[in-house]
Chain A
Amino acid sequence: MKILVCISKTPDTTAKIAFTDNNTKFDVNGVQWIINPYDEWYSLVRAIELKEADASTLIHLVTVGAADAEPIIRKALALGGDEAIRVNTDSHDSFYIAAQIAEVARQGGYDLVFTGKETIDYNGSSIGGMVAELLDLPYISLATKFELAGTTATVTREIEGGEEVNEVALPFVLSATKGMAEARIPNMRGIMAARTKPLKVQEPVAVDALTSVSGFGLPPAKAGVKLVDAENVEELVRLLHEEAKSI
């Protein structure tokens, strides 16, 4: 079995969010980059578990990004990917990225394509669905569990107020969220092995982006907290009722 795992690079969760160039670009100054948590903790680790259960499984990683994404992809290889493909481009429109991933997927003939639920910077939740449509494959979003028996997968996904279990035959695309697997840290052997694993760089296919960012902004700061004495909880309830009108 061959699995393609999509890996994106995002700012560390504590990164300071600021913008430059007249609020049109994210300020990368001093920002630490990490593997998008949904890609690392859930989608990649679940793929690695599948390989552990069946050693003939091949895990390919794909990232669409510039050369500065390489430390991220090496870390993903250290966790357990077999080889990686980087599509060399800087673009950030979801459709453009999805079209690149779909092209890689077509070339590789994968049984499964795993993405994360969303990138924690762009919060698109879009790329998995777009890739699935471009490949004309089924798509299961927000998957919390994945089991495989032969060529049929049983996938649990989040719904409002609970979850549902679906059955679908390979090949298909899924987006992974919490529950799929437990986060791991790379060990020394993995880190050493990652240095010599293949990392192929290929040029993007020509596609037109469908959207562009015209500007960023920060939400207005809160007015400040109104503190109420712990002995006077009734006053808090009154404020929530009369002033905030929220109860």
Chain B
Amino acid sequence: MSVLIFIDTAEGHVKKASLEALTYGAKVAEQLGTTAEAVVLGTTQDDLPALGKYGVKKIHHVNNDNLNHLDAQVYTKVIAEVAAACGADTIIFSNNVNGKAIAPRLSARLKAGLVAGAVALPDTSQGFVVKKNVFSGKAYAMISVSTPVRIIALSPNAYQTLAGEGTAEVVAFNTSADAPKVKLVSVNKASGEVPLTEAEIVVSAGRGMKGPEHWGIVEELARTLHAATACSRPVADAHWRPHNEHVGQTGFAIAPNLYIAIGISGAIQHLAGVNRSKVIVVINKDPEAPFFKAADYGIVGDAFEVVPRMTAAIKKLRGIA
């Protein structure tokens, strides 16, 4: 028996969400009294043995050119082979973009019960029960998995990465991966910016900003905090901001350490995408704005005055002139 963790990479680099999955998987292994192993596919550039500091003992590296880009069908077959070879009864993914493509396939292939979007360690006192968010974070469910093999896809930002000591043994796993049917044509990434779904801090603004020409103060605050920027749906719909900034029920669901909401009323559909943030700060000129009920800290005031003051205060704290 073992716990097998899937290490997800982008351009050969291990994603932050996978470090969370490794830390979580090692803890699950400890709970089950087995060892934590991992699998990584395709060419990598990072120091794989160093990932041992997250608790993983052995990493199976399937270095095959057919695996340099995600084709979930091909990946699933290979991961299933590795899982069988190391006798894995618990398989861990991050529930990030690639996890969402692979974990369900593997679940169907292995007839292994899947908990997609887990937010806590399994409870093994009675069977195998894992907590996940449902109703867009407005509630949680305890999912009981009774199959011999189980798969957990861990929600990004739900489990803290913890680095200790140790190096992992990296072993080559040889198999003939099928040629991918999904061909990569191009990648389009906003360079230099912090990806919204991976950001520790998110600065978000809504219709209260009155128009796209006023976003300078929002971006300046985000830059000062090394934060990603986000927006409410009407703002994206009006093309004030790009669609990939839209958070909420029908946009991205995020869980940063800090979410700063500026001129956003706090409609239930907006909250559904941000209610897992650890700390929420609301800046709104209306003291009755519903967002204050979901906030940890708030300022009732005009964003056009408060936001520049906040940027200045943070610069002062950080010793930036």
Is A228 a contact partner of B298 (Cβ separation < 8 A)? yes
Encode contact with A along B292-311: 1 for CB under 8 Å, 0 otherwise: 11111111111001100110
Encode contact with A along B71-104: 1 for CB under 8 Å, 0 otherwise: 1110010000000000000000001110011111
Is B184 a contact partner of A164 (Cβ separation < 8 A)? yes
A159 CB, nearest partner CB in chain B, Å: 5
15 residue pairs A–B, Cβ–Cβ below 8 Å: A17-B139, A129-B107, A140-B182, A164-B186, A167-B185, A210-B113, A210-B114, A214-B129, A219-B139, A225-B296, A233-B310, A237-B310, A238-B317, A246-B201, A247-B201
Encode contact with A along B201-228: 1 for CB under 8 Å, 0 otherwise: 1000000000000000000000001000
Interface residues in A140-175 by Cβ distance below 8 A to B read: 140-142, 144, 154, 157-169, 172
> Does B174 sit within 8 A of A, measured CB to CB?
no
The one of A14, A124, A133, A158 that contacts B97, using a Cβ cutoff of 8 Å: A158
Size band of the B side of the interface? 35 or more
Is A95 a contact partner of B114 (Cβ separation < 8 A)? yes
In the assembled complex, which residues on chain A have CB atoms less than 8 Å from the CB atom of B103? 126, 129
> Which of A125, A131, A138, A217 has the largest count of B CB atoms less than 10 A from its CB?
A125
Interface residues in B179-197 by Cβ distance below 8 A to A read: 181-190, 193-197
A230 CB, nearest partner CB in chain B, Å: 3
**Chain A binding surface, main DSSP class:** mixed
Is B108 a contact partner of A215 (Cβ separation < 8 A)? no
Q: A-B contact count, CB below 8 Å?
A: 275
Among listed A51-59, A82-90, A115-123, interface-contacting one: A115-123
Is A133 a contact partner of B140 (Cβ separation < 8 A)? no
Give me the 7 closest cross-chain CB pairs, A-B, nearest first. A161-B195, A230-B301, A129-B104, A162-B189, A210-B113, A126-B104, A133-B108
Interface residues in B255-270 by Cβ distance below 8 A to A read: 257-258, 268-269
Is A227 a contact partner of B139 (Cβ separation < 8 A)? no
> Does B239 sit within 8 A of A, measured CB to CB?
no
Encode contact with B along A1-41: 1 for CB under 8 Å, 0 otherwise: 00000000001011001010000000000000000011001
Tell me the complex Cα distance, A129–B153, Å.
13
> Does B144 sit within 8 A of A, measured CB to CB?
yes
Is A216 a contact partner of B139 (Cβ separation < 8 A)? yes
Given contacts A168-B181, A230-B306, 10 further A-B contacts (CB under 8 A): A38-B250, A123-B133, A160-B96, A161-B198, A167-B183, A179-B243, A210-B107, A212-B143, A216-B142, A236-B310
